[in-house]
Amino acid sequence: MTGRFTNRIAVIAGGGAGIGRRFAHRFAGEGASVVIADLDIGAAKRVVAELAADGARGLACAADVADVEAVSAMASAAVAEFGGIDILVNCAAIHLDHAQLPFDLESVPKWRQVMDVNVVGTLACSAACRPAMAARGGGSIVNMSSMAAYGASGAYGVSKLAVNSLTVSLAAAYSADGIRVNGIAPGLVDSESAVEWANDPSRSGAADIQEQLVAGQMIKRPGRMDDLANLCLFLSSAEAGFITGQTILVDGGYTKKPY
């Protein structure tokens, strides 16, 4: 650990479990104070307790990322507790089977929910944290996209393709404040929810999903949450100070495989 985030404050939206939780531990391990914002306040408090056990500072906030008042309160709480915000990671999302929706009129309300959380929520959190970042001379926002944005993946893929465009637009809009905005587009990794989904016996061919994905990758091993964390921490650091508006695939080469 390098301590490269000592005296930095990182907000992890959707940090109560899975990839967001791993990010929280990695930022804390390198010196950051971490705000865990999650719809499940119990999960957020558990992560803060884990960080405290390792000697790190954390704050749990209940937040529906699509609720403007909730994310404004989250940003205010971060400033009140730690003095500002330097880093925002937008991990909160509706995904997996919850975002596999038909293309019909009956599904429109659920489509709106997916877009509200995955896209509008990313915008809302970014806008809420922007003033605090600007007050400290700038910062970094990392948005979570997906390799699903690059294929026919239904509501989830559509929402993540929108996140890719939002990342570019936010990078341009926030550049005057010294805020860099980038994205990470993962393949399937070893998060709790993804592993459960991949091994769900009720899904036809479930046992072969991960094997099929690895077979289609250029790098022949399963993805790991730490593959994403390594990139997230880099993009959030001074080492990436000349990088903005980019969404980087971390999928073992799956979407770039030869035909």
Percentage of the residues of the chain whose pLDDT score is greater than 90: 80
Residue 100 has pLDDT above 70, yes or no: yes
Known catalytic membership, residue 156: yes
| Mean pLDDT, the chain, integer | 92
Q: Name the more confident of 199 and 38.
A: 38
pLDDT in tens, 129-185: 999 999 999 999 999 999 999 987 789 999 999 999 999 999 999 999 999 999 999
Percentage of the residues of the chain whose pLDDT score is greater than 70: 92
pLDDT band at 24 (very low <50, low <70, confident <90, very high): very high
d(CA 244, CA 239): 12
What DSSP line would sit under the chain, residue for residue?
---TTTT-EEEEETTTSHHHHHHHHHHHHTT-EEEEEES-HHHHHHHHHHHHHTT--EEEEE--TT-HHHHHHHHHHHHHHHS---EEEE-----GGGG---SSGGGHHHHHHHHIIIIIHHHHHHHHHHHHHHHTT-EEEEEE--GGGGS--HHHHHHHHHHHHHHHHHHHHHGGGTEEEEEEEE-S---HHHHHHHT-TTSTTGGGHHHHHHHHSSS-S---HHHHHHHHHHHTSGGGTT--S-EEEESTTGGG---
Cβ neighbors of 220 (< 8 A, separation 6 or more) are 214, 252
Please tell me which residue in 150, 156, 174, 254 is annotated as part of the active site: 156
